[in-house]
Structure 1
Amino acid sequence: MAQDLVALSSDYQFWMQKLSVWDQASTLETQQDTCLHLPQFQEFLRQMYEVLKEMDSSAITERFPTIGQLLAKVCRNPFILAYDESQKILIWCLCCLINKDPRNSGESKLNSWTRGLLSCILSTFRFDIKEVGLFTRGLGYAPTAYYPGLLKNMVLSLVSELRENHLNGFNTQRRMAPERITSLSRVCVPLVTLPEFEPLVEALLTYHGHEPQEVLCPEFFDAVNEAFLLKKISLPASAILCLWLRHLPSLENTMLHLFEKLVFSERNFLRRIECFMKDLLLPEAACHPAVFRVVDEMFRYALLETDGAPEVLAALQVFTRCFVEALEKENKQLRFAFKTYFPYASPSLVVTLLQHPKDIPRGLWSQPLRRISEMLQEIVEGQTHGSYGGPFESWFLFVHFGEWADIAAEQLLMVEAEAEAPEALLWLLAFSGSPGAGRRQRSQTMIAQTDAITHEVIGFLDQTLYRWDHLCVEAPRPRELARELLTELRGQA
């Protein structure tokens, strides 16, 4: 980002001078010079957008105080606006200047001024279909009479038409043609971050016609998902769910965005991971089995590629807990059986793992732990091995509910647990740490030392504190000691 800003600042001054020359004289020479430099200027605009989209509006005006002058000069140059590609990138840049929550009169004036430029461009935007004519004929205005205040009315008009079209279904006399919806989605690509266009974006995402193929263009889905990930747009969970169900690459990019955050963030901060996932609406959207299966498969591949990285394991466990909470909140009587979400797992094992420790007296935690250990041993080493996949499938299911492994570790520290079922708990922990090992290797792995012991302890303490918070465990002194040790270990790691 810093290198991009340095390079862009040098180009910025060059193009500012060029635009001033082109703006002051309309001679044959300046027209020829404009056409000659147009490809390089378009590339500059594209680079400018890539930088602006990562900044908020106040930072943009602070870093580029004359950005408004530059974009205004572009808007007045007919040779630049003659190309659709230039128009699109220019609109993207202008949208970055709009502050959704202006904090003072200066930001409000900038918003109004920017919307005025956008209206000017939109009035001359050359669409494949006569969208401008549709707006103006319906509202009784000529294209030159566009004002920022009319944007809201235009959008509401289209939203109403889309919803009416959706309700009428096969009523072909009042039905919007698929080609027109496709063109409308393409027109919206550079406009998705404008607050005024959010109702139209939502209406397009939730629109379902009777066409056999997708009518919204892929670029529209990409633009909406990028704006959502960058928090440039606010949409309800239902619209995001439609986005991911209709365009798989958007969901995949969202998961890659999550993994990227995990890689570049500090380890073992589960509360931060939880907040980030909820901001992405992943647990809520995953209540739909199709979304859950995609998310789950990407976690599976991430674990395989990273050899079970602790960051990915922690993220999977947080996701599962948030997903189960969202599922229970959405509908107490589940619309989908749990087998829909875990089709390759033992149903009885899934039911046992789904038991929330909070609903079980603490003194009885060893009982479900013993059942979980016995069922896993039977699947992995017994006769039912082929019924529910290999050891990895059983391990992958178990680590979804990794708090049971943490509780097993806690139980082993208690005399009562050691007296009741040490072998079952030891096997469970050994299996959790090395699912691919054979029976003999697993026996050698039980309560074993590793080079990464510090990081293991950090993870255990962080997960314990995280779990105590959700289980409302009252343990002031142990909690204080755990936090002190966690702080000390993080300083050494």
Structure 2
Amino acid sequence: MAQDSVGLPSDFQFWMRKLSVWDQASTLETQQDTCLHLPQFQEFLRQLYEALKEMGLLSHILSTFRFDIKEVDLFTQVLGYAPTDYYPGLLKNMVLSLVSELRENHLNGFNTQRRMAPERVRSLSRVCVPLVTLPDFEPLVEALLTYHGHEPQEVLWPEFCDAVNEAFLLKKISLPTSAVLCLWLRHLPSLENTMLHLFEKLISSERNLLRRIECFMKDSSLPAAACHPAIFRVVDEMFRYALLETDGALEVLAAIQVFTRCFVEALEKEDRQLKFAFKTYFPYASPSLVMVLLQHPKDIPQGLWHQALKHISEMLKEVVEDQTHGSYGGPFESWFLFVHFGGWADMAAEQLMMSEAEAEAPEALLWLLAFSCGPGAGHQQRAQTMVEVKAVLSCLMKLLRSPTLSARDLQAAAGEGGEGAPRPPACQQLIRRLLLNFLLWAPGGHAIAQEVITLMAQTDAIMHEIIGFLDQTLYRWDHLCVEAPRSRKLARELLAELRGQA
């Protein structure tokens, strides 16, 4: 028995006879024959379904463009073609013809600018709604997305854009970034749905795994598409709302930083000169501050990191605390900009633990860390945070020179704030970051690390915060090519152990 679509007619007769026999008798032999042939019958039904699906498809397309399927059948019979031979070729040629019509035509060496009429483009996009996931139609889908007429209103059917975007998100269709960019520029709901889809993946995936977040980002095509400022602004605004709605959740902060890193990489990979000024991406920020934050620390000698951090701190402080810079949107906009490049704050905390710098630099780094805690803190609260952190840092520096080191000593160094007053949550988080950096870099930190973390992680939230810190530190070191074998080994061991407990 033939098992391909060409033999379907003879197979059909075979199975009709079988079904007639099975229906009229219920003997043991009939039951055995049914069991024996059932897998073959299922395969026949599958082939029949595929053939019928393709023939429904073709009738749908032909009827839309005023062809009569009976006329096509008569034509193929005269030519001596079987429908199974002729229809796939007809479909391929029809798609190529439509793609050519959607684009500029070149006839006899002349650019005729023959383009499909807008109403026909709209009709075609409506017809293609149920067909967007079929591989044969990918060229047509791409041609529709990249079609540019001179109409004042969008000509593509909205449901077509929805269907294409959903298929793209579910990996049922493959499209070049240029076509995806056109889709999101033409149809804002598609871009919004893509962002929501990304948020859902981030929420449902394992927390505190920046490598996976980076894969999600790049796989979504959002960083590459965001090289167009209109896309970047929408994506950035949605991150802003997510940050506000979650009250500055660490996962959202990490996602913003990973997105920004991937976005900057995408900009650097473009072959052409940058078409848009950075002002169009960050309209509320100081252009000079943006350019400084955009520097990759890997391109700066490690010995000059202190100086770069001090310069960033001074520029931010001038914008935030000097009233003459109100045109840049105030403290929140400056903080939101700094969040995008949050690796600088992590470097500041690390530098405070690693080097004995000149007296002025620690003050600048302390201000930078205090500012990174959040946009709601005013000048007075930042000053108090700096006092608290400076006191803890002084104790840690003494412990660093101590011949013996214990977990209880480190806990005592963290303290509880002046006169027993509880510290604000953001300040407590900042001090935990300093303690963790101390463990990673202090000679005696390895021996007491597990005990210190057990004392610190009194809640699941703090446990996840510590896991996030370790993951982000290793991720940043990889990008900066930091050579710290002992510290890396400790961070990896702690991360593996804590993830096993979480």
Normalising by structure 2, what TM-score? 0.71
The residue aligned with 2:393 is: none
Task: Please tell me whether the aligned partners of residues 123 and 132 of structure 1 are also in contact (alpha carbons under 8 angstroms).
Answer: no
Q: Aligned ranges for residues 282-321 of structure 1 at < 5 Å?
A: 282-321=222-261
Task: Please tell me whether the aligned partners of residues 59 and 69 of structure 2 are also in contact (alpha carbons under 8 angstroms).
Answer: no
Partner residue of 1:394 out of 306, 314, 334: 334
**Quick one: structure 1 residues 401 and 205, their matched pair in 2 at CA, closer, same or farther if it must change by over 3 Å?**
same
Q: Aligned ranges for residues 305-384 of structure 1 at < 5 Å?
A: 305-331=245-271, 333-384=273-324
The residue aligned with 1:468 is: 477
Distance in 2 between the 1:471 and 1:412 partners?
18
Q: Deviations over 1:204-260 (max 9, x none)?
A: 101111122111100000000000000000010000000000101000000011111
Task: Please tell me whether the aligned partners of residues 458 and 490 of structure 1 are also in contact (alpha carbons under 8 angstroms).
Answer: yes
Higher mean displacement: 445-454 or 182-191: 445-454
Task: Please tell me whether the aligned partners of residues 169 and 175 of structure 1 are also in contact (alpha carbons under 8 angstroms).
Answer: no
Partner residue of 1:199 out of 129, 139, 145: 139
Distance in 2 between the 1:161 and 1:281 partners?
28
The residue aligned with 2:173 is: 233
- 1:161 and 2:161 equivalent? no
Distance in 2 between the 1:215 and 1:165 partners?
20
Deviation at 1:314, TM superposition (A): 0.7
**Quick one: structure 1 residues 165 and 186, their matched pair in 2 at CA, closer, same or farther if it must change by over 3 Å?**
farther
- 1:444 and 2:453 equivalent? no
Deviation at 1:457, TM superposition (A): 2.7
Deviation at 1:484, TM superposition (A): 0.7
Task: Please tell me whether the aligned partners of residues 62 and 68 of structure 2 are also in contact (alpha carbons under 8 angstroms).
Answer: no
**Quick one: structure 1 residues 115 and 427, their matched pair in 2 at CA, closer, same or farther if it must change by over 3 Å?**
same
- 1:130 and 2:65 equivalent? yes
How big is the alpha-carbon RMSD for the aligned residues of Structure 1 and Structure 2?
A: 3.3
Q: Secondary structure at the match of 1:424?
A: helix
**Quick one: structure 1 residues 169 and 262, their matched pair in 2 at CA, closer, same or farther if it must change by over 3 Å?**
farther
The residue aligned with 1:120 is: 55
The residue aligned with 2:464 is: 455
Task: Please tell me whether the aligned partners of residues 58 and 87 of structure 2 are also in contact (alpha carbons under 8 angstroms).
Answer: no
Deviation at 1:115, TM superposition (A): 4.5
Distance in 1 between the 2:149 and 2:110 partners?
7
Distance in 2 between the 1:265 and 1:289 partners?
29
Q: Secondary structure at the match of 1:301?
A: helix
The residue aligned with 2:398 is: none
What percent identity do the matched residue pairs reach? 76
Distance in 2 between the 1:334 and 1:381 partners?
32
Distance in 1 between the 2:245 and 2:345 partners?
22
Q: Deviations over 1:447-474 (max 9, x none)?
A: 4425754333322221111112122222
Deviation at 1:118, TM superposition (A): 2.4
Deviation at 1:113, TM superposition (A): 5.5
The residue aligned with 2:419 is: none
**Quick one: structure 1 residues 160 and 183, their matched pair in 2 at CA, closer, same or farther if it must change by over 3 Å?**
same
Amino acid at match of 1:467: R
Task: Please tell me whether the aligned partners of residues 169 and 209 of structure 1 are also in contact (alpha carbons under 8 angstroms).
Answer: no
Task: Please tell me whether the aligned partners of residues 106 and 112 of structure 2 are also in contact (alpha carbons under 8 angstroms).
Answer: no
Amino acid at match of 2:428: Q
Amino acid at match of 1:449: Q
Distance in 2 between the 1:224 and 1:463 partners?
35
Deviation at 1:418, TM superposition (A): 7.5
Deviation at 1:311, TM superposition (A): 1.1
Q: Aligned ranges for residues 32-431 of structure 1 at < 5 Å?
A: 115-125=50-60, 129-130=64-65, 132=67, 145=83, 147-164=87-104, 174-331=114-271, 333-417=273-357, 419=359, 421-431=361-371
Q: Deviations over 1:324-359 (max 9, x none)?
A: 111111146311111111111001110110110000
Distance in 2 between the 1:135 and 1:353 partners?
67
**Quick one: structure 1 residues 134 and 330, their matched pair in 2 at CA, closer, same or farther if it must change by over 3 Å?**
farther
- 1:488 and 2:497 equivalent? yes
Deviation at 1:401, TM superposition (A): 0.4
Uncovered stretches (5+) of structure 2, i.e. residues with no partner: 1-15, 21-37, 390-426, 430-458
Q: Secondary structure at the match of 1:234?
A: coil
Distance in 2 between the 1:384 and 1:491 partners?
51
Distance in 2 between the 1:407 and 1:256 partners?
31
Distance in 2 between the 1:207 and 1:195 partners?
19
Q: Secondary structure at the match of 2:179?
A: helix
Deviation at 1:276, TM superposition (A): 0.9
Distance in 1 between the 2:381 and 2:207 partners?
29
**Quick one: structure 1 residues 328 and 126, their matched pair in 2 at CA, closer, same or farther if it must change by over 3 Å?**
closer
Q: Secondary structure at the match of 1:267?
A: coil
The residue aligned with 1:101 is: none
Amino acid at match of 1:458: I
Uncovered stretches (5+) of structure 1, i.e. residues with no partner: 1-19, 25-64, 73-109
Deviation at 1:379, TM superposition (A): 1.5
**Quick one: structure 1 residues 444 and 487, their matched pair in 2 at CA, closer, same or farther if it must change by over 3 Å?**
farther
Distance in 1 between the 2:116 and 2:69 partners?
12
**Quick one: structure 1 residues 189 and 166, their matched pair in 2 at CA, closer, same or farther if it must change by over 3 Å?**
farther
Q: Deviations over 1:345-387 (max 9, x none)?
A: 0011101101100000111111111111111111212233412
The residue aligned with 1:90 is: none
